A and B are shown apart, each in its own frame.
Chain A
Amino acid sequence: MPAARKRNIRLRSQRGASGVFTEIVDHLRTNRTGLRAEWARRIAEAQLLKAMSEDEILTETASLYDNYIDVLETGAVEALESYARNLSERIIPRGVETHEVIGIVLLLRDVLMRSLFVKYQSRMDVLTRMLDAFEPAARRIAVTVAVGFVHERERIIYQQEAAIRELSTPVLPVREGLLILPIVGVIDPKRARQLTAQLLRGIRANRAKVVVIDVTGVPSINATTANHLVLTVEAARLLGATAIVTGLSPELAQTLVTISVDLNKMHTVCDLRGGIEEADRLLGFRVTRVDGPSEQPD
């Protein structure tokens, strides 16, 4: 018996809610122009979507508004999910930020809620019922759009990460027994591991005695990667190769000293040229100019 009663109540409340939704949707459809203008005004006031032109904002807000009402009417968020993905795909390359997207969706909620207040202010009981129905739906819509946007962003970030990883670091044999490893870009732990493995394999394959690791292209370094670099130098020594680190910028040098990485065992030279000269000295090479510069081929 109690179960049946409960179901009965739920059905009634659902029917009630859908009735409320119909009323809300009707209200929002009839006042579409006014509410959209108000929303656009609030967006401009909050200085959101500055990366987009006015026309674009108008089109996007129009379709977002209609999608919003559709969700209120049908309760199906799937269409909105795909719309949010689609929207994110279009606006992320334009430089639209997460806070802007969430901001405009919340502004629309505010505008709609306020219009409900204005319409039903004299009938408190109806207003309460309306808000009871509207609030969870509005919350769900805001979450859906925000999650769609963040997912799309993450997808792009993963894609870029994979692209960066593909630009692997080459190990270049320069002279007999000399390898150069130019590192360009940020070293994350994954890349650092790959780099070490490549270098150690390169040492064995090329029978290298000296390795010049050039970090001119590394903008910043953290304690983990710095320690990894030290480990790489040590491991190279175990394979019988001397590692020379070149191109430590003043900022990198400062960071390394501040985070007190033990660099005593690292052989460092200021630039790649100096590093190669030092390597030549260790290997017993001497570079001399034969006569004047040879003629450049055209």
Chain B
Amino acid sequence: MQVPILKQGHYLIASVQAALRDADLINLRDSLTEKVGTYRSRGVILDVTALDVLDSFACRTLSDIAAMIRLRGAHTVIVGIQPEVAFSMVQLGLRLEGVATALDLEEGLEYMSRKTIRIDHAQHGK
């Protein structure tokens, strides 16, 4: 199932609607890394509220996406991990290290505005 990627101001929002197959994740990775360049976005918000399981491949792909987005010059935050999912993830040793997380989309947007405020300042300073 294709994951819709929405452009919202300076950010991209990818909202996962249903369980993802491995191929869907790869698709998501490829289209996100491409679109972040196309739209010159400053941040990517990955919403996984609808997922009730995150396996090791999904976690690795999410980490990969975050690392690749960073190389493309933008921030990534994963939002909406359910409490039960969070605990089973850490029990399996899937810590999503180095990836920012937030409670939900609202918090994610706030995180992004905090992160990108420096960029605005830098641009104004120019």
Residues of A within 8 A of B (CB): 196-197, 200-201, 203-204, 207, 209, 231-232, 234-241
* Residues of chain B having any CB pair with chain A under 8 Å: 79, 81, 83-84, 86-87, 89-91, 95-96, 101-104, 107, 111
User: Contact at B87–A200, with CB atoms within 8 Å?
Assistant: yes
A235-B87, A235-B90, A238-B81 given; name 5 further pairs at CB < 8 Å. A197-B87, A207-B103, A237-B101, A240-B101, A240-B111
- Bound CA span A238–B99, Å: 9
CB-CB under 8 A for A235 and B89, given A201-B83, A240-B101: yes
Name the residue on B nearest A241 (C-beta). B103
Contacts of B84 in A (CB 8 A): 197, 200
**A237-B101, A240-B101, A240-B107 are contacts. A197–B90 as well, Cβ < 8 Å?**
no
A196-B101 Cα distance, complex, nearest whole Å: 18
Q: Indicate whether A239 sits within 8 Å of B90 (C-beta atoms), given known contacts A203-B103, A204-B103, A234-B95.
A: no
User: A97: shortest Cβ distance to chain B, in Å?
Assistant: 40
- Given the contacts A197-B83, A200-B86, A207-B107, A240 and B102 also touching, CB distance less than 8 Å: yes
Given contacts A207-B107, A234-B90, whether A240 and B83 have CB atoms under 8 Å apart is no
Query: Contact between B79 and A231 (Cβ–Cβ < 8 Å)?
Result: no
B87 touches A231 (CB 8 A): yes
| Chain A residues near B81 (CB-CB < 8 A) | 238-239
Tell me the minimal C-beta distance from B68 to chain A in angstroms. 20
Candidates B83, B90, B91, B101; contact of A204 at CB < 8 Å: B83
A58 to chain B minimum Cβ distance, whole angstroms, is 59
